[in-house]
Structure 1
């Protein structure tokens, strides 16, 4: 499990460790890891040109000490001081002793103060730029001077390496409230921060490398991400005495005359995900049977369709009154229920909160905005706060779809984050497949949070496999939703293997 801790927890752990170490030892550990990562990015340190963007905090000190290490290995290192009077004194002294230079970002020229234009030229010529402008406590976007240098770094040919967190990204939330550094890679110390794993901050961080420095944050993490071993542990496996009911029967109430394919794709996700049986109720019965003769088709209502261990309701219901009746009927059952797509329009928070069985809601950003009564842009810019707010308002587990999928429980457990997908997954019907997949896992007995997180993981992995993109989030080629459904068994085998 990859875990991320908030700023307060990380700082408390740092204070505890620093009380037991010689002064400056913790910063030296961070600088050593940062210098090693810098060397890997450069390939050859001797003769390379490195620029440090140095603010007034400890991140600037980390960058200065790392720059001193690189200078001793033959790199030409220049520190651009964005707050000259408040730069880390010992770090700056170490850099100069190692042969590095310092420029004041707004200097007037002469001596080491070569002026802003000279500093910008140094950035333009650099092979590597280290972002040590703002630390994990930073709030809001970059100030104009810092933003100018962040843009210059991005426009140069240099690799950009962020120190602990890209400056301008908020550590606890991943929010970006203005201009921020866009890094090719980030070296973070001691523990991941939520802003490195959650969009939009994740997009600014590039490849993230964790450098252990000995800190041990206390308490539960704010965010966690499942890894292969975690998913493998949670996946249901049939035993020698399993029958279809023990494996889980999932009901699918989806599709309409207008959107019959949504019902077919939700059934596909469930059939391909190990369900013992799939019961279908909806207007697309003929299409479902033609594609999946193993499905059990019923006229409805869902509550009279027969034994199920979980229901999926919502994909492709359209805007008619029948959708509202289906959602109400399913929510009135005493089994876990997943509500997606058009089904979300018919939700009342009080009805969902009153259920005794688990409820899993799976909105995308636009649907989440409608449920919260806020603009879509607010959800997209504050995804962590939005998914937590929805979970609390409805007393349900919420899976917020996106480039990073978030799964939040109503009781304040760590938010699960998943990034196994690919950009090719943004295609019509892929959410219907995810609903069927998660519904099958609910029917197999997984807790709603586990079902949502495991489904998102497998769904993304299946999309990568179907696109031919390997483990990267980009690359490969186009996929259709039915391709993703067909690739689920292969993703399942990959995890277990």
Structure 2
């Protein structure tokens, strides 16, 4: 899955938008539009997976309500293209016009509520070239019940699965999936994605996400729950220096990182900041670690001095001097990226009401295990596994308790502010699960905050660029964390070039030059 212009709205807002569309339309207008888009997506997947469309075997798992209706009408369209369609009915209240349409088109109907029908459904799945999951949609809840759970369990491991709106059994609002659920290769969101499509762990069941515009986008009201920044949106937020800028205007980042056991964390954090464009990186740490940093990054300036933001804690362990420096930085009121060894001190202070820096200027960057430990410090006993199972819930919990922005690192990175601003970025390969990767991410985020970005957008932009740099460095194979830092400048350059090449990008760039007082030729 890769980032696109994804903006997720809660289910009640999506349903309200649908009702507004249907005020002047026939009742089945949205279903017909949805089926047309779904049929195109199914045909594309059949060509990729089975080498063609006509004569291929498709099984539609149809529940009650609109989601099942979308699937049945899609089955009718595929049948008219020569596809062998079996519609497995998982509810007695299946969409009647859709059932009739499949029957008229010559499709096969199987009632899975009977033992004979359940056996027939299992056999059909065994031979399927494609399975369409239309069991439940944005009105669903977590976990599938009989007979849907038994039918879904019978989907062969090698059969491609296309989910309608979201994989059935995944909670549409939170992404939680504690019971039986579908694992899709492709998910087609109708109108706009549900939040559960972008939130872990549900997003891992979605596969590749695409959106079919059925005409509701212009009718959506209210604020989205979560966003996923596209490359163009990342470029629009990236702080590009003015023609007349000097290094102090570019952003001065103070880094308190590393310790004698973990000098590499300091090296990688500083590398991330330098390669992301910080004007100056000031490093504070033990003499031995300072030597490591300067050998690897001679651009860094050792020792204390005036800074515009802090990066704190990466690789800090059992070092009283580093702990004291972290405490001074937290008391400064300056923007802070808080990682690893600085998390406990920061969270304790902020939960107790000691908040020199406002919520929008503090970015906590835990992984799931660290987030669990932070909540335990605050009296909430949770395990790493519980955080991973309810990532959205626990990230928001810590953001509220600490009155800070939380960047929860993972295959999909969540950025959650205490005011509700939220992002979900999924730009990098699994190869990025490597020691030091998070230190580079912290450095990139620190560079952005030193340049003036607030915590939530800095976290989202950093996560996206970090993932893209990892993808570029890996090129389909293994990587080291330092490779991510080294790939960062080229990724940023490509994002900015793509934005400048777009028609509206050219106009905005000229406007920016004019604002800076640069003469246009």
Q: Does 1:29 align with 2:33?
A: yes
Query: Which one of 98, 102, 108 corresponds to residue 109 of structure 2?
Result: 102
Contact 1:323 1:343 in 2 (8 A): no
Partner residue, 1:368: 371
Instruction: Report the CA distance between 1:105 and its aligned residue.
Output: 1.1
Q: Secondary structure at the match of 2:273?
A: helix
Q: Which residue of 1 aligns with 2:262?
A: 259
Contact 1:352 1:396 in 2 (8 A): no
Question: Displacement, 1:141?
Answer: 0.9
How far did 1:46 drift?
2.0
Counterparts of 1:495 and 1:248, CA distance in 2: 21
Q: Deviation digits for residues 358-407 of structure 1, max 9, x if unmatched?
A: 11111111111111221111210111122211111111111110011111
Residues 43-122 of structure 1 mapped to structure 2, 5 A cutoff: 43=47, 44-83=52-91, 85-107=92-114, 114-122=116-124
Aligned partner of 1:439 among 446, 458, 472: 446
* Contact persistence 2:351–2:401 (CA under 8 A): no
Please, what TM-score do these two structures have when normalized by structure 1? 0.93
In structure 1, what is the Cα distance between the partners aligned to 2:108 and 2:267?
65
Give distance in 2, aligned partners of 1:466 and 1:45. 37
User: Alpha-carbon deviation of 1:115?
Assistant: 2.7
Report what 2:488 is aligned to. 488
SS at structure 2 position matched to 1:153:
coil
Q: Secondary structure at the match of 1:209?
A: strand
Aligned-CA RMSD value: 1.5
Please tell me whether the aligned partners of residues 353 and 394 of structure 1 are also in contact (alpha carbons under 8 angstroms). no
2-structure distance, mates of 1:39, 1:418: 29
Partner of 1:227: 230
The answer for the alignment partner of 2:511 in structure 1 is: none
Q: List alignment gaps of at least 5 residues for structure 1.
A: 109-113, 299-304, 469-475
SS of the residue corresponding to residue 31 of structure 1 reads: helix
SS class of match (2:142)? coil
1:387-402 alignment, distance < 5 Å: 387-402=395-410
Aligned to 2:411: 403
Aligned to 2:518: none
Partner of 2:344: 345
Q: Give matches, 1:122-141, under 5 Å.
A: 122-141=124-143
Counterpart Cα distance in 1 of 2:309 and 2:62: 55
Q: How far off is 1:353 after superposition?
A: 5.6
**Match of residue 289, structure 1, among 268, 287, 294:** 294
Gaps of 5+ in 2: 377-381, 498-521
Report which stretch shifted further, 315-324 or 27-36. 315-324
Asked if the contact 1:353/1:395 (under 8 Å) is kept, the reply is no
Q: Does 1:386 align with 2:394?
A: yes
| CA displacement, residues 130-164 of structure 1 (integer Å, 9 cap, x when unaligned) | 11111212112111421221122243x43211111
SS at match of 2:293: helix
How many residues are matched?
476
The residue aligned with 2:474 is: 467
